[in-house]
Amino acid sequence: MRDVVIVGVGMTRFGKFLERSLPDLGREAIWKAVGDANIPPKDIQIAYVANSIGYQLTELKGTIGQHVLAAAGFFGIPIINVENACSSGSTALRSACLEVASGNFDVALALGVEKLFCDNTARSSEAMASGTPYAKFGFMFPALYSMNLKKWMEKYGITQRQFAKVAVKNSKNGALNPNAQFRKPLSIDDVLNSRVIAYPLTLYMCSTMGDGAAAAIVCTRDKARKYTTKPLVEVAACELVSGTVTIPNQPHEPLEARAARLAYQKAGVGPEDVDVAEVHDGMAPAELMLYEELGLCREGEGGRMIDEGLTEITGKIPVNPSGGLAAKGHPVGATGLAQIAEIVWQLRGEAGERQVNDPKVGLTENAGGWVIDDNAACAVTILKK
Amino acid sequence: MTKPSNSDPAPDKLQILVQEGLFYQPQSPKEKPYLIGSRCSLCGYVSFPKLMVCPCCVQINTMEEMHITGKGKIDTFSVCYAALPGFQAPSIQGYINLEEGARIWSLITGVEPSDESLKIGMDVELVIGKLREDAEGNEIISYQFKPVKTDRKG
Ligand SMILES: [Zn+2]
Q: Are A38 and A70 in contact (CB under 8 A)?
A: no
Q: Which among A107, A103, A57, A114 has a CA at the least distance from the CA of A81? A: A114
Element (H, E) at A212: strand A211-219
Q: Are B152 and B141 in contact (CB under 8 A)?
A: no
Q: Where do you find CATH 3.40.47.10 in chain A?
A: 4-121+210-235, 135-204+237-384
Mutation target among B46, B63, B84, B120 for the A interface, most CBs of A within 10 A:
B84
Low-confidence ranges of chain B (pLDDT < 50): 1-2, 153-154
Q: Are A278 and A170 in contact (CB under 8 A)?
A: no
| CB atoms B93 and A151 under 8 Å | no
Q: Which residues contact A171 (CB under 8 A, 6 or more apart)?
A: A182, A184, A185, A186, A204, A323, A326, A327
Architecture of the domain spanning A135-204+237-384: 3-Layer(aba) Sandwich (3.40)
Question: How far apart are alpha carbons A204 and A193 in whole angstroms?
Answer: 9
| CB atoms B105 and A134 under 8 Å | yes
For every residue of chain B, DSSP letters joined together read -----SS-PPTT--EEESSTTSEE--SSTTS--EEEEEEETTT--EESS--SS-TTT--TT-EEEEEE--EEEEEEEEEE----TTS-SSEEEEEEEETTS-EEEEEE-SS-SSTTS--TT-EEEEEEEEEEE-TTSPEEEEEEEEEPP-SS--
Q: What are the two backbone dihedrals, phi and then psi, of residue B21, each rounded to the nearest 5 degrees?
A: 75, 15
What pLDDT score was predicted for residue B8? 57
Q: Which among A207, A208, A201, A238 has a CA at the least distance from the CA of A366? A: A238
Q: Are A383 and A235 in contact (CB under 8 A)?
A: yes
Q: Are A207 and A330 in contact (CB under 8 A)?
A: yes
Asked if the interface predicted TM-score (ipTM) of this complex is over 0.90, the answer is no
What pLDDT score was predicted for residue B6? 54
In this complex, the residue of A139, A147, A247 whose CB is nearest that of residue B77 is: A147
Peptide bond into A200 cis (omega under 30): yes
What pLDDT score was predicted for residue B1? 47
Q: How many CB atoms lie within 10 A of CB A181?
A: 24
What pLDDT digit, counting tens, does each position of A1-18 carry? 999 999 999 999 999 999
The one-digit pLDDT tens for each residue of chain A (385 residues) are 999 999 999 999 999 999 999 999 999 999 999 999 999 999 999 999 999 999 999 999 999 999 999 999 999 999 999 999 999 999 999 999 999 999 999 999 999 999 999 988 888 888 887 767 888 999 998 999 899 899 899 999 999 999 999 999 999 999 999 999 999 999 999 999 999 999 999 999 999 999 999 999 999 999 999 999 999 999 999 999 999 998 878 888 999 999 999 999 999 999 999 999 999 999 999 999 999 999 999 999 999 999 999 999 999 999 999 999 999 999 999 999 999 999 999 999 999 999 999 999 999 999 999 888 889 999 999 999 9
Q: Are A250 and A336 in contact (CB under 8 A)?
A: no
Q: What are the two backbone dihedrals, phi and then psi, of residue B46, each rounded to the nearest 5 degrees?
A: -110, 135
Peptide bond into B90 cis (omega under 30): yes
Question: How far apart are alpha carbons A38 and A51 in whole angstroms?
Answer: 26
Q: Which among A294, A295, A267 has a CA at the least distance from the CA of A360? A: A267
| CB atoms A139 and B132 under 8 Å | no
What pLDDT digit, counting tens, does each position of A274-318 carry? 999 999 999 999 999 999 999 999 999 999 999 999 999 999 999
Query: Where would I find the H helices in A220-331?
Result: 221-227, 255-267, 284-293, 302-307, 324-328
Calculate the CA A257 to chain-centre distance. Answer: 16
Q: Which residues contact A347 (CB under 8 A, 6 or more apart)?
A: A231, A233, A276, A359, A360, A362, A383, A384, A385
Architecture of the domain spanning A4-121+210-235: 3-Layer(aba) Sandwich (3.40)
Question: How far apart are alpha carbons B10 and B102 in whole angstroms?
Answer: 36
Which residues 72-91 on chain B approach chain A with CB closer than 8 angstroms? 76-85, 87, 91
Residue A291, SS3 per DSSP: helix
What pLDDT score was predicted for residue B16? 95
pTM more than 0.80:
yes
Residue A6, SS3 per DSSP: strand
Contact of B6 with chain A, judged by CB distance below 8 Å, is answered with: no
Q: What are the two backbone dihedrals, phi and then psi, of residue A118, each rounded to the nearest 5 degrees?
A: -140, -175
Q: Are A150 and B119 in contact (CB under 8 A)?
A: no
Q: Are A7 and A227 in contact (CB under 8 A)?
A: yes
Q: How many CB atoms lie within 10 A of CB A159?
A: 12
Residue A246 C-alpha to ligand 1 middle, in angstroms?
A: 13
| CB atoms B76 and A136 under 8 Å | no
Question: How far apart are alpha carbons A100 and A3 in whole angstroms?
Answer: 8
Question: How far apart are alpha carbons A6 and A216 in whole angstroms?
Answer: 7
Peptide bond into B49 cis (omega under 30): yes
What pLDDT score was predicted for residue A125? 84
What pLDDT score was predicted for residue B78? 97
In this complex, the residue of A135, A144, A195 whose CB is nearest that of residue B84 is: A135
Q: Are A134 and B105 in contact (CB under 8 A)?
A: yes
Calculate Rg over the CA atoms of chain A. 19
Measured between alpha carbons, how far apart are the two ends of chain B, in Å? 41
With b for 16 or more beta-carbon neighbours within 10 A and e for fewer, the B105-132 pattern comes to bbbbbbeebeeeebeeebebbbbbbebb
| CB atoms A138 and B79 under 8 Å | no
Per CB-CB distance under 8 Å, the chain A contacts of B95 are 147
B76 to chain A, minimum CA–CA distance in Å?
A: 6
